[in-house]
Amino acid sequence: MEDTTIADVLKTFETYYAQKDYVSALETLQKSKSEVPSMLWHYNMGTVLAKLENWPEARFHFLLAEKMGVSHKDLSLNKKIVESKLEINRIEKPISVTDYAVKGAQIASQGWLTSLSLVCLIVGLIKLKRGASLKGLALFLFLVLAPLMLNFWIKSWPISVITKALVIREGPSVIFPEKGELPVGVLVMTKEAGDWCEIYYPSRFQGWIKKNDLKVLE
């Protein structure tokens, strides 16, 4: 019964989408969130929001779908198109050591660390067949598990996407002067302090914003 419901929702969505009635397609998804697998729901939300030129929300949903395990080429292509519309390469361009470290970690977590762990596993198994000491076994386990643990840690970082323009302040209160405006679509990493969050990535937007205005990727 559940599969039939999912099929009906997706069929209705695809019909509206094919007719270029993107507003009705969006409403269909919004009303049926609990009936569609999360990763598929977020991917379709990103697709239809992109058609409606709501680039910040589209990026948010594409990133969530990617985080949940969607990895096909259409998602990657659509996300790149949305990010180009938002000028992400410009507004998230690294300007500090912290920026480069975070950016590098994010790239590494997109399959590189898992691949490294797999290579270490294969090489380690070959060496174990030839005989290995207790010290060698411990080293083998460390080399296999370390990249996986690092990958898990990186993916647990609190990341948010800004879906509406926000004022950046010099401190965690409205009494502090404004430093500028945080552009829509940008991905930020923050530290919480009560009702406020301090931005530390990208460092060009370092300052404080209201916590309630963030859309966290979780």
98-126 confidence digits (pLDDT tens): 889 888 887 787 777 778 778 777 777 77
Residue 91 maps to a domain: no
pLDDT score, position 38: 92
Q: Are residues 177 and 142 in the same domain?
A: no
Phi/psi at 167 (5° precision): -80, 130
Q: Are residues 8 and 60 in the same domain?
A: yes
DSSP state of 187: E
CA distances from 203 to 34, 98, 187 (A): 37, 7, 12
- Distance, CA of 49 to CA of 61 (rounded, Å): 9
Please give the residue range of the domain that contains residue 171: 159-216
Cis bond before residue 202 (omega within 30° of 0): yes
Q: Are residues 137 and 81 in the same domain?
A: no
Q: Which of 37, 55, 86 is the last residue of a domain?
A: 86
Which range (37-41, 104-108, 184-188) has the least confidence? Answer: 104-108
Q: Are residues 27 and 73 in the same domain?
A: yes
One-letter amino acid at 88 equals I
Q: Are residues 12 and 51 in the same domain?
A: yes
Q: Are residues 148 and 108 in the same domain?
A: yes
pTM: 0.80
pLDDT at 202 over 60: yes
- Distance, CA of 164 to CA of 156 (rounded, Å): 24
Q: Are residues 68 and 111 in the same domain?
A: no
Q: Are residues 180 and 194 in the same domain?
A: yes
The candidate with the shortest Cα–Cα distance to 162, out of 105, 89, 211, 102, is 211
One-letter amino acid at 141 equals L
